[in-house]
Structure 1
Amino acid sequence: MSIELVRALKENKSEQETVFHNGADLIGLNKRFQDSRPSEIMRFTIENAENPVIFTNFRPLAVAFLHLVTQPKKDIPVIWVDHGFNTPETYRHIERVVERLELNLQVYSPRMSAAHYTAVYGQIPPLDTPEHDRFSEIVKLEPFNRAMSELKPDVWLNGIRHDQNAHRKSLNVFTSGSHGTVRVAPMFHLSELDVEEYIYDRDLPDNHDYFDPTKGEEHRECGLLLQK
């Protein structure tokens, strides 16, 4: 057998074993894991991902997701976009969670601080206006896209669930994400009560004073999941 043929066979085998890529069989993955526990989904993801990252906003109940996804890989990068408009309690909560879970926290902030934005443009603009679109781009989308470009993950782990809003109900555990990633939501099929019980059973600290300036409403999408 020639050296060229051996090399070709090895390359072909490597491609076949790559699970998370642009052409990943998401339909097959979702069918395979439709009745699986979040921990099983996580174990499979960590075993097959080359460069997974976590995105979180430390909203209420997010600590359950962070606890779950860091169990199989303690040093996985945890990306947080600090837009600067968080409540004081949220910042204190983040410090507690980072210490408790020993998170490998990677903070990405807007190039324009909250104080700078407010001084130049005034208060947070009304929803569904061009001004609010610009605001969301400055404080959340730009730092998010910068994180993706710098870290170049193949898997983007997030804590979305099917019961949060209509858009998320249309998604699944494995979906196509922006920047060529596969989004994995291991807790997708859980209910809010399931997550509350997860937190209670493990005596995890939760955040009860959260504010997202880019959403305005609890069940509104912030924009990250809508990017192509």
Structure 2
Amino acid sequence: MGNASSNAVRAYPQRTFHHGADLEALNQQFQGAKPSEIMRFTIEHAENPVVFTNFRPLAVAFLHLVTQAKPDIPVIWVDHGYNTPETYRHIDRLVKEFNLNLFTYTPKVSAAHYKAVYGEIPPLDTPAHDFFSRTVKLEPFNRAMEELKPDVWMNGIRHDQNAHRKSLNIFTTGSHGTIRVAPMFHLKEIDVEEYVYQHDLPDNDVYFDPTKGEEHRECGLLLEK
């Protein structure tokens, strides 16, 4: 009887990444680890990991890091329609150079449609801007998560980007039952710049996110429950 129980446990091992996981222990374990070590551990233990990126400046470092570990990982990008021409060209280049497995999600209302019906991008911190953010970014992102059903959502956030992100960690609970993993969380901006330089990676210097408006603000994805 005891042997049967033991065999059953071995046959059906507990998942590493779920909302009941001991994330505090994981964060302590990997506090001083290299991003590549965190990435390898995550890839080895995740059942259906995905990446989210907006192709902002220095995001290429995170994309390079993750595709070295898992070249075919699904990469989610929400094209809200307000990107700069430089950003679109940058994305096309990275898709070709990194052979990205890109999943592009767009709002149900195009940028031209939104402008015609509701006008220009609304002022920050207003109900109109909240509606704008939900329409052009949060809804497509939530749709991506519902369709792809990942257990792990990896991203390139760092502790030095704003106050909210400083309160997070490498492993945190995310929306849609996911665990968010930020392998570069403990790095500083200069560290990422050096990574881009050392690997001679193409970067995107002309970037605009209409849902943030200001660099220190959150667009809402990390605030989703």
**TM-score band (shorter)?**
over 0.9
Q: Which amino acid aligns with 2:183?
A: P
Q: Deviations over 1:152-191 (max 9, x none)?
A: 0000000000000000001000000000000000000111
* Cα distance in 1, alignment partners of residues 132 and 31 from structure 2: 37
| Shift, 1:219, TM fit | 1.1
SS state at 1:183 partner? strand
Query: Normalised by the size of structure 1, how large is the TM-score?
Result: 0.95
- In the other structure, the counterpart of 1:129 is 126
Residue identity opposite 1:73 in structure 2: K
1:40 to 30, 37, 40: 37
Whole-Å separation in 2 of the counterparts to 1:211 and 1:10: 54
TM-score, normalised to structure 2's length? Answer: 0.97
The DSSP-based 3-state class of the residue aligned with 1:207 is coil
Misfit runs of 4+, over 6 Å: none
SS of the equivalent of 2:69 reads coil
1:205 match: 202
Q: 2:106 matched to which residue of 1?
A: 109
- The separation in 1 between residues aligned to 2:7 and 2:42, in whole angstroms, is 23
- 1:50 corresponds in structure 2 to 47
Q: Within the alignment, does 1:83 sit opposite 2:66 as a pair? A: no
Aligned position for 1:168: 165
For structure 2, which runs of at least 5 residues remain unmatched after alignment? none
Structure 2 distance, partners of 1:121, 1:211, is 20
Report how far residue 12 of structure 1 moved: 3.6
Query: Displacement, 1:9?
Result: 4.2
Alignment equivalent of 2:139, drawn from 123, 139, 142: 142
Distance 1:131 1:25, change over 3 A: same
Once residues 213 and 80 of structure 1 are traced to their aligned partners in structure 2, the CA distance between those partners, rounded to angstroms, is: 15
Q: Distance in 2 between matches of 1:16 and 1:35?
A: 27
Using the TM superposition, give the Cα deviation of residue 100 of structure 1 relative to its aligned residue in structure 2, in angstroms: 1.1
Q: Paired residue for 1:178, among 164, 175, 178?
A: 175
Gaps of 5+ in 1: none
